[in-house]
Structure formats: structure tokens, C-alpha cells
């Protein structure tokens, strides 16, 4: 159970709710600079896995190592500053704030102003607002959401909210980006946009991406490696082409042949 | 972004503030005391706005923290001989510390249960003032509060800046004895508290507070420590309340356990809802409207007595809560986002003229 050379090492993680096992002895590595997809049928434990990594759930057994820190023992709010950002399956934006403020709120961990300075809005506080606003405007331009900059996100359509949430995760400037079903519920065009953004983020910013996705065509296209979960157990791991022809995976998805 | 962007906005602000500062020169005493009451309420509601409007933690303890501020400032002035202007900030901070203690349950409980926890402040603090340290706090009777004064040295047997020679103190003294003088203290405090409240809303602290209100789980995963920021919100809210309480005590010249009570806490919450939760202008609009309605109730009471002569006392007593409750219901149904939202719409419509309808 030692951290290895990869960016993120998941080691024998077991998580259960009461008597229900959500994850059982799951282990995998995430190498620096790759796009790793986690797939599996509904209820396979994919989101639970992501929740364990981001500190929302605490697994009963095992460890998750990121840059030599054990995430299972790190307080939840200290995980983002280590360099991990995520989006949520059901969108968890700050609904009462504008697009701009949502993304600015994610700059929290990069700002140094004390609360007293915030109250006075003087010196460092004012300087920081300007600096970080520039970064945020860059993200807004990149994601092509300049036209909704001032809109309250609660009133935005689904596809745009997903994009704002991606922007908020980007604003953390993390090394590892966890995307929980970023393309669910979108039409083909929106899906392609989102896939393009993910690939651009990966290439331009050198961010390592772990994503959960149900659209197999998309997963096979954009991911470098795939991990397959079924009933909380890892049943396969490998290159997209290997996974496509793995009998166990086919069985998990289609049942006995 | 600057708050004031155009020259005329500066002019309006300056003229408005000048009109308020010079109010005693051209208005009746009752008008001045009304404005003074509004100003003190604004400070308390601004504090509540930080806690409830921005952070989403509902609190019914605001009046209790005002009581703490009032007592603390009175004791600093009478027992330690401090000047009111030093006692005010220290009293506010001490109320903040008490607020912090009652904010601790917010770690574990939310919503309705947190209301219950903060409600406890409303019972514990007045109980303490009534039953503990009777020799200092004088139990239910309460304390008489001295007039705030500014002392200046006598120069060449003359007093300057409108101060008058006081033989007992051997110095030039300016007394904030009535609302005519006190309103200047209230105005300065309101201006400072408005600036602080607005700065919070547009900076790192404010965004962290709103993130906790809108989605505390996401906020935590994005690196914001919810507990630390909830406590900060409780502290700031109680500091504002403490300042308001200290001002109220020195304006009324008397404080006891019921000077500000649970009814006031509920009134503050009502003012916030009527004005607009989570906006910088909301507390100002809300406090003004609700206290104006109270004045209207007072004006209406002779008419109510003439209509219901058999039950005059009961009818007049019921008039205030009746009007307040009615206003609250009307706002909840027709403008739940409060007067501040209405104001924003009006401004937008004005900017768009003549195309807005």
C-alpha cells in the first residue's frame, strides 16, 4: 500500500453503506497526463469512486494517494488546494450567483486576502480581484460563455450550466480533473462541444482527466485508458480497444451471451 | 467595479447625506428620532443579512446580541469610565464573541434546527442579565446609560467645535443627549457598516459565504471550509448587532433584558425579507419600510379607537403586528425578492427607456 509513480493511486478501496457494498477492493492508477475513463452499468459504483477521491465519502478500507498525501485522511476542504477539481453528475453550481461569480468563487483557494481585507476592499483585496478576474475572463472566453457572463446560473439551460460548471472546475487550476458524466443529457452537438473542451483542456493545460461517461463511442474516442466497474468491483482495465473486446465487460453490459 | 460610476451619482449621494446630517436643523424632533430608529435598525439588519442573506444561516438571535452590545458598552462607560466612542467598537466585538458561541451549533445543524439553536440565545442572554451579577447588572430593572460625550481640552479659556464648558469635568464637552445630536453617531456607523457590508458582498469573503448558502457540499469540495466561514458570518452578524445595541442603549439612555427582545429579532428578519435577502440595499429599504409602517400604525390608532371603543387598548396593541404581518405576507406573495429587487428592475427599466413598456 505505497503511493506509486502515478499521479493518483487508488489502493484496495472498499466502501459500504450499512450492509450494501458500493466498492470492493478497487485499485487502479492514474498516470500523469492521461485521460482515464471509468465506465460501468448503472449502480456500478463509478460516482462513489469519484466521491471517495474528492473526499465526499470516506472509504472504510484502503487508501487513495495523490502527490504522497492520503486523500482518505485529508479534510474535504483541503483536497481542492492539493490540485483536484471536479464536476458533478447533477450539477452543483451556486444557483444564486452569476456565471462570473461562480467561476470567481472557485478562485478562492488561489486568493490570499484575509477576511478583514475583504471587508476593507483595499490594497491586496482589490489587486487580487483584478488579477483573478483576468484569469476568469480567460476561462469564460475559452468555454465560449461570454454572452452569459452576467446571467444568474440558476436560470440557464442545462447544457450551458454544465459548461459553467466545467469552467468553475477549471478555475481551480488543478492537476487532476474529475468529470462526472459531463455529457449526459446533451444533444450530439453539445456533446461534441464538450468533448472538444475536454480534449483542449487536456492538451493546452496538461491536466490529467478522470471521467465517467455512458456514451461508449465518445469514451472510446477520447480516453487513453478505461477502467470498468461492475457491482463495485473492478472487472477490467486497459486500452479502449482491449476493453471493447473483453468478454467480462460485454457480459456486464449485455448479460450472458 | 466601482459602486458609483457617474458624476450625478456622486452628487445625489453627497446631497442625500448632507440632507440627513442636517436633518435636525429643519425637521421636528419626532422625525429625527424616527430616522434615528431606522438607522440603528439598519445596522442590525445588515448584520443579519450577512448571516441569513449571504450565508443562508437563519438566526433569531440578533436582538440578544444587541442586548450584549448594549450592556457591554454601558458597563465599559459606567464601570471603567471609558469614552463611548472606544466602548462602541469593543462592545461590538464582545457581542461578536458571544455570537461565535451561539454559532457553534451551525457545525452540526441546519435550517429549522439552527433557528432553534439561535433562539436559545434569545432566552439565555436576557436570563443572564436578569439573574446573574445583580450588583452590576441590576437584574430586571436594568441599567441607566450615560450620555455619550466628546471631551476637548480648554484652549485660551475658549471651547471650540460647538462644545460647551463643563465645570464638573473641567473640560469642553459635547453631549449627544437627544436624537438631534445622536443621529450623527448613527449616521457615521451606518455609513461604515454599509461600506463594510458591500465590500464583503463583492470580494473573496462574500463569495465564500454565498457558496455555502447555495451549495455547501460543492463549496467544501472546492476548497472552502464551511464551518470556518459560517462562524465568521455569525461573528460579523453579532458585531453589527452589538454596535446597533450599544447605539440603542446610549440613545434610549436605559437598557434592560427586554429593551430588545424576541419580537425585535423577528422584526429584523421581516425587514430583511421585505428589503431583499442577500442584497446590500435590502436592509436599508426593509428597515425604513417596516419602521415607517409602525409609525403609520401609531398614527392610525386614534381612528381604530373610534371604530372599536369597547376594546381600544387591545385593538391599538394589535395594530402594529397586524400591519407588519400583512406587509410580510404581501411581500412573500408578490415580491419575495424584496424591495431591492424591485429597485433593480426599476433602474433597468429607466436605463432602457423608452423601450421598457
Mean per-residue pLDDT for B33-62?
A: 95
Mean per-residue pLDDT for A218-231?
A: 91
Task: Look up the domain containing A188 and give its range.
Answer: 8-254
Note whether A118 contacts B224, CB cutoff 8 Å.
no
Which has the higher per-residue pLDDT, B354 or A55? A55
Note whether B221 contacts A172, CB cutoff 8 Å.
no
Note whether A105 contacts B208, CB cutoff 8 Å.
yes
- Give yes or no for residue A140 having a pLDDT over 70: yes
Residues in chain B: 357
What is the chain B residue with the closest CA to A106? Answer: B222
Mean per-residue pLDDT for B173-194?
A: 93
User: A-chain residues within 8 Å CB-CB of B278?
Assistant: 96
Q: Nearest to residue B234, comparing CAs of B71, B37, B68?
A: B68
Sign of the alpha-carbon torsion through A120, A121, A122, A123: positive
Whole-angstrom distance, CA of residue A168 vs CA of residue A179: 12
User: Domain count of chain A?
Assistant: 1
Mean per-residue pLDDT for B2-6?
A: 75
Note whether A121 contacts B202, CB cutoff 8 Å.
yes
User: A-chain residues within 8 Å CB-CB of B211?
Assistant: 94, 97, 105, 108
- Give yes or no for residue A257 having a pLDDT over 70: no
Residue A245: pLDDT band (50, 70, 90) is: confident
ipTM of the complex model: 0.90
User: B-chain residues within 8 Å CB-CB of A128?
Assistant: 204
Residues B194-238: tens digit of each pLDDT: 999 999 999 999 999 999 999 999 999 999 999 999 999 999 999
* Residue A1 lies inside a defined structural domain of this protein: no
Going by the DSSP 8-state scheme, the letter that residue A174 receives in this structure is -
What is the chain A residue with the closest CA to B233? Answer: A115
Contacts across the A-B interface (CB distance below 8 Å):
97
Residue A2: pLDDT band (50, 70, 90) is: very low
CA angle A103, A91, B109 (to 5 degrees): 90
* Residue A22 lies inside a defined structural domain of this protein: yes
Q: Does B315 touch chain A (CB under 8 A)?
A: no
What is the rounded average pLDDT for all residues in chain A?
Answer: 91
* Residue A3 lies inside a defined structural domain of this protein: no
Pick the range with the lowest mean pLDDT from A125-139, B19-33, B248-262, B307-321: B307-321
Q: Å from A224 to nearest chain B CA?
A: 26
CB-based burial label for A124 (10 Å; 0-12, 13-18, 19+): middle
Q: Tell me what pLDDT residue B221 has.
A: 93
Cβ(A252)–Cβ(A228) below 8 Å: yes
- Give yes or no for residue A32 having a pLDDT over 60: yes
Note whether B223 contacts A172, CB cutoff 8 Å.
yes
Q: Å from A94 to nearest chain B CA?
A: 5
- Give yes or no for residue B3 having a pLDDT over 80: no
Mean per-residue pLDDT for B17-35?
A: 92
The CA–CA distances, whole Å, from B28 to B210, B231, B284, B293, B296 equal 42, 42, 22, 19, 17
User: A-chain residues within 8 Å CB-CB of B46?
Assistant: none
Mean per-residue pLDDT for A2-17?
A: 81
Residue A1: pLDDT band (50, 70, 90) is: very low
Q: In what order do the strands lie in the sheet with A233-238?
A: A84-86, A176-180, A208-212, A35-39, A225-230, A233-238
Mean per-residue pLDDT for A195-200?
A: 93
Note whether A94 contacts B218, CB cutoff 8 Å.
yes
Q: Å from A90 to nearest chain B CA?
A: 11
Best probe of the B interface among A108, A136, A166, by most B CBs < 10 A, is A108
CA atoms within 13 A on the CB side of B240: 31
Q: How many CB atoms lie within 10 A of CB B253?
A: 15
> Distance between alpha carbon B183 and the CA centroid of its chain, in Å?
14
CB-based burial label for A247 (10 Å; 0-12, 13-18, 19+): exposed
Note whether B210 contacts A97, CB cutoff 8 Å.
yes
Cβ(A55)–Cβ(A13) below 8 Å: no
Q: Tell me what pLDDT residue A5 has.
A: 59
- Give yes or no for residue B258 having a pLDDT over 60: yes
Whole-angstrom distance, CA of residue A128 vs CA of residue B337: 31
User: A-chain residues within 8 Å CB-CB of B217?
Assistant: 56, 92
Whole-angstrom distance, CA of residue A45 vs CA of residue A50: 9
Residues B90-107: tens digit of each pLDDT: 999 999 999 999 999 988
> Residues with Cβ < 8 Å from B160, sequence gap 6 or more?
B152, B172
Q: Which of A88, A92, A125 minimises the CB distance to B203?
A: A125
Mean per-residue pLDDT for B117-123?
A: 93
Q: Nearest to residue B124, comparing CAs of B45, B71, B67?
A: B67
Whole-angstrom distance, CA of residue A187 vs CA of residue A190: 5
Q: Tell me what pLDDT residue B264 has.
A: 94
Mean per-residue pLDDT for B267-282?
A: 94
Mean per-residue pLDDT for B247-257?
A: 94
Residue A194: pLDDT band (50, 70, 90) is: very high
For chain A, the residues whose C-beta falls within 8 A of a C-beta of chain B are 54-56, 75-81, 85-86, 88, 92-97, 101, 104-106, 108-109, 111, 113, 115, 118-121, 125, 128-129, 168, 172
- Give yes or no for residue A27 having a pLDDT over 70: yes
Q: Does B159 touch chain A (CB under 8 A)?
A: no
- Give yes or no for residue A120 having a pLDDT over 80: yes
* Residue A2 lies inside a defined structural domain of this protein: no
Cβ(B254)–Cβ(B142) below 8 Å: yes
Q: Tell me what pLDDT residue B2 has.
A: 65
Q: Does B100 touch chain A (CB under 8 A)?
A: no
User: B-chain residues within 8 Å CB-CB of A177?
Assistant: none
Q: Tell me what pLDDT residue B357 has.
A: 62
Which has the higher per-residue pLDDT, B155 or A94? A94
The CA–CA distances, whole Å, from B283 to A124, B118, B246 equal 28, 20, 19
User: B-chain residues within 8 Å CB-CB of A119?
Assistant: 196, 199-200, 203, 205
Query: Bridge partners of A225?
Result: A36
- Phi and psi for A61 in degrees, rounded to 5? -135, 160
Q: Tell me what pLDDT residue B40 has.
A: 97
Best probe of the A interface among B200, B207, B348, by most A CBs < 10 A, is B207
Whole-angstrom distance, CA of residue B213 vs CA of residue B207: 10
What is the rounded average pLDDT for all residues in chain B?
Answer: 91
Q: Tell me what pLDDT residue B6 has.
A: 84
Note whether B223 contacts A88, CB cutoff 8 Å.
no
- Give yes or no for residue B15 having a pLDDT over 90: yes
Q: What CATH number should be reported for the domain holding residue A250?
A: 3.40.50.300
User: A-chain residues within 8 Å CB-CB of B92?
Assistant: none
* Residue A100 lies inside a defined structural domain of this protein: yes
Q: Does B223 touch chain A (CB under 8 A)?
A: yes
Residues B134-165: tens digit of each pLDDT: 888 998 898 999 999 888 878 777 777 777 77
Q: Which of A92, A106, A108 minimises the CB distance to B215?
A: A92
Note whether B214 contacts A79, CB cutoff 8 Å.
no
- Phi and psi for B59 in degrees, rounded to 5? -130, 135
Q: Does B243 touch chain A (CB under 8 A)?
A: no
- Give yes or no for residue B295 having a pLDDT over 50: yes
Note whether A118 contacts B220, CB cutoff 8 Å.
no
Q: Tell me what pLDDT residue B106 has.
A: 87
Mean per-residue pLDDT for A216-237?
A: 91
Residue A160: pLDDT band (50, 70, 90) is: very high
Amino acid at each position: 500500500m505505497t503511493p506509486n509513480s502515478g499521479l493518483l493511486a487508488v489502493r484496495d478501496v472498499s466502501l459500504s453503506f450499512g450492509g450494501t457494498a458500493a466498492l470492493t477492493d478497487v485499485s487502479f492508477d492514474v498516470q500523469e497526463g492521461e485521460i482515464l475513463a471509468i465506465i460501468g452499468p448503472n449502480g456500478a459504483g463509478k460516482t462513489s469512486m469519484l466521491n471517495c477521491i474528492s473526499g465526499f465519502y470516506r472509504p472504510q478500507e484502503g487508501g487513495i494517494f495523490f502527490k504522497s498525501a492520503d486523500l482518505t485522511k485529508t479534510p474535504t476542504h483541503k483536497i481542492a488546494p492539493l490540485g483536484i477539481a471536479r464536476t458533478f453528475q447533477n450539477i452543483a453550481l451556486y444557483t444564486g450567483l452569476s456565471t462570473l461569480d461562480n467561476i470567481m468563487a472557485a478562485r478562492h483557494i488561489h486568493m490570499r486576502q484575509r477576511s478583514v481585507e475583504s471587508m476593507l476592499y483595499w490594497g491586496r483585496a482589490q489587486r487580487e480581484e483584478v488579477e483573478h478576474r483576468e484569469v476568469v475572463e480567460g476561462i469564460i472566453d475559452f468555454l465560449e460563455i461570454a454572452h452569459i457572463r452576467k446571467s444568474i446560473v440558476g436560470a440557464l439551460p442545462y447544457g450551458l450550466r454544465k459548461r459553467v460548471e466545467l469552467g468553475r472546475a477549471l478555475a481551480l487550476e488543478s492537476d487532476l480533473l474529475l468529470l462526472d458524466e459531463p455529457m449526459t443529457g446533451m444533444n450530439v452537438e453539445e456533446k461534441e462541444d464538450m468533448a472538444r473542451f475536454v480534449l483542449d483542456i487536456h492538451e493546452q493545460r496538461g491536466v490529467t482527466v478522470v471521467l465517467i461517461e455512458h456514451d461508449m463511442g465518445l469514451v472510446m474516442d477520447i480516453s487513453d485508458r478505461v477502467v470498468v466497474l461492475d457491482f463495485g468491483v473492478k472487472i477490467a482495465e486497459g486500452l479502449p480497444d482491449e476493453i471493447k473486446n473483453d468478454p467480462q465487460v460485454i457480459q456486464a453490459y449485455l448479460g450472458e451471451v | 467595479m466601482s459602486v458609483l460610476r457617474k458624476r450625478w451619482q456622486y452628487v445625489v449621494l453627497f446631497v442625500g447625506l448632507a440632507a440627513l446630517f442636517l436633518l435636525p436643523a429643519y425637521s421636528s424632533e419626532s422625525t429625527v428620532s424616527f430616522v434615528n430608529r431606522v438607522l440603528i435598525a439598519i445596522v442590525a439588519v445588515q448584520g443579519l443579512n450577512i448571516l441569513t442573506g449571504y450565508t443562508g444561516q437563519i438566526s433569531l438571535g440578533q436582538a440578544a446580541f444587541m442586548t450584549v452590545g448594549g450592556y457591554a458598552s454601558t458597563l465599559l462607560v459606567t464601570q471603567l469610565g471609558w469614552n463611548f466612542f472606544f466602548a462602541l467598537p469593543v462592545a461590538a466585538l464582545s457581542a461578536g464573541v458571544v455570537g461565535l458561541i451561539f454559532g457553534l451549533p451551525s457545525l452540526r445543524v441546519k435550517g429549522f434546527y439552527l433557528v432553534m439553536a439561535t433562539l436559545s440565545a434569545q432566552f439565555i442572554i436576557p436570563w443572564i442579565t436578569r439573574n446573574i451579577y445583580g450588583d452590576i447588572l441590576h437584574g430586571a430593572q436594568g441599567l441607566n446609560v450615560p450620555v455619550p460625550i466628546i471631551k476637548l481640552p480648554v484652549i485660551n479659556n475658549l471651547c471650540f467645535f460647538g462644545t460647551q464648558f463643563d465645570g464638573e469635568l473641567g473640560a469642553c464637552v459635547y453631549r449627544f443627549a437627544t436624537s438631534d445630536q445622536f443621529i450623527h453617531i448613527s449616521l457615521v456607523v451606518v455609513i461604515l457598516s454599509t461600506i463594510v457590508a458591500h465590500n464583503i458582498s463583492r470580494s473573496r469573503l462574500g463569495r465564500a459565504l454565498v457558496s455555502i448558502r447555495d451549495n455547501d457540499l460543492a463549496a467544501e469540495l472546492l476548497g472552502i471550509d464551511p464551518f470556518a466561514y459560517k462562524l465568521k458570518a455569525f461573528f460579523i452578524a453579532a458585531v453589527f448587532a452589538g454596535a446597533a445595541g450599544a447605539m440603542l442603549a446610549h440613545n434610549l439612555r436605559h437598557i434592560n433584558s427586554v429593551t430588545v427582545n424576541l419580537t425585535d429579532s423577528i422584526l429584523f428578519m421581516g425587514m430583511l425579507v421585505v428589503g431583499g435577502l442577500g442584497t446590500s440595499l435590502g436592509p436599508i429599504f426593509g428597515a425604513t419600510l417596516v419602521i415607517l409602517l409602525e409609525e403609520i400604525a401609531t398614527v392610525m390608532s386614534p381612528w381604530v379607537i373610534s371604530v372599536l371603543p369597547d376594546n381600544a387598548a387591545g385593538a391599538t396593541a394589535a395594530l402594529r403586528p397586524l400591519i407588519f404581518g400583512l406587509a410580510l405576507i404581501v411581500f412573500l406573495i408578490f415580491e419575495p425578492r424584496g424591495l431591492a429587487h424591485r429597485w433593480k428592475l426599476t433602474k433597468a427599466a429607466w436605463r432602457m427607456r423608452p423601450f421598457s413598456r
